[in-house]
Amino acid sequence: MDFCDPDSGTTHGASLTGKLCDINSYSKVDEPFFAGLYPSFCSAVAAGGGKKALSKTLTSSDYHPVGKRSGSLSPRTPPVNPNIYKFYNFDFVWTGSADSAMECYKDCNEAFNAITAAPCGLSGMTYTASENVGCGTYSYTIDADLRVCNIDPSVTYQPDMVSWNTDNANQAIKDFCAGDFVVDPNTTTPPNNFSQGAGSGRDTYPLQVYRYPDGSTDHVTSIFVTFASTPNPGCSAPSTFNVKDYTAQCERLLGKVLADPDPCPGNTGGFVVEQAADHGCVDWQIFQWSISG
């Protein structure tokens, strides 16, 4: 459910002002870290005169302590550790003010300060939120998934990858993500993640090999999912889940390897590390290889 700020001064209509966020989707990014991150974006907005549109991706290296802790925080609140978010991207956007006559009732810092407060910042920041300030909109999106364009080095099985047929790769993703595959930390955490081998236990083992007719009958697409061998310190503890219960998330994560217009070089494959799931940090990998190689 989206939250609409009822005290923004404007109700639903042609020009809706106030903050908007998905209160059903909180990240593990805490409010003190976010409060030390967004000023870097606001400084860039100010450098452009404050009216010019701007999009900027920030990382944990853009975090700067904000000085004394907010009075709303407990004295026992632990210090911010930006390294927890080293694999995260934070996409900030200011739409700009196309009409110089329109009044901006908040500047950049004021807008993001309001966003940081509840409910957008409550038990962590929501994955996305925005604040319409009358003359334009400030927003952010948290991308907690790291893409790596090679086979996970923890995997002992390292075939020579070949360029894929994109249609086949997309079909393989759909087939895999709809499958009834259990991901169990007792059997799918390196070095145990291939103990059953590619030819046994595939009804419950999250490794699947797909071959589709495309003129290259020796080319196959492999997809597997396993718990990360070197999880980020901010990850939840690994717990069992079923791929079919995460179909949309599975398709989104594996699709990042195929992402157009920025696919992995050579269209050979790679993996995405899911950083913020309740079931722990997970590697979702897809690659194509030649069985005759």
**Helix or strand run (H / E) with residue 32:** helix 31-35
Amino acid at 83: N
Q: Greater confidence, 145 or 187?
A: 145
pLDDT of residue 135: 92
pLDDT of residue 277: 76
Residue pLDDT, tens place only, 116-168: 998 998 878 998 999 999 999 999 999 877 788 877 665 555 667 788 778 88
Residue pLDDT, tens place only, 57-99: 998 999 999 865 444 445 556 789 898 887 688 999 999 987 7
- Residues 173-184: what's their mean pLDDT? 88
Say whether pLDDT at 26 is over 60. Answer: yes
**Helix or strand run (H / E) with residue 22:** strand 18-22
Angle of helix 247-257 relative to helix 166-177, nearest 10 degrees? 150
CA proximity to 86, closest of 124, 56, 60, 125 = 60
Phi/psi for 289 (5° steps) reads -150, 165
Q: Greater confidence, 98 or 54?
A: 54
Give the CA dihedral 251, 256, 258, 264, nearest 10 degrees: -150
Contact predicate 207/194, CB 8 Å: yes
Say whether pLDDT at 111 is over 90. Answer: yes
Q: What percent of the chain has pLDDT over 90?
A: 25
Please give the structure tokens belonging to residue 91: 């996409």
pLDDT of residue 107: 95
**DSSP string of 200-254?**
S-TTTSSEEEE---SS-TTEEEEEEEEE-SS--TTPPPP--EEGGGGHHHHHHHH
Say whether pLDDT at 237 is over 80. Answer: yes
Which of 113-117, 176-180, 280-284, 288-292 is least confident? Answer: 288-292
Contact predicate 162/217, CB 8 Å: no
- Residues ≥6 apart with Cβ < 8 Å to 197: none
Say whether pLDDT at 243 is over 60. Answer: yes
- Residues ≥6 apart with Cβ < 8 Å to 262: none
pLDDT of residue 266: 76
pLDDT of residue 70: 47
Angle of helix 38-47 relative to helix 108-116, nearest 10 degrees? 160
pLDDT of residue 84: 82
pLDDT of residue 165: 77
Say whether pLDDT at 201 is over 80. Answer: no
**DSSP string of 175-214?**
HHHTS--EE-TTTSSTTSTTTT-TTS-TTTSSEEEE---S
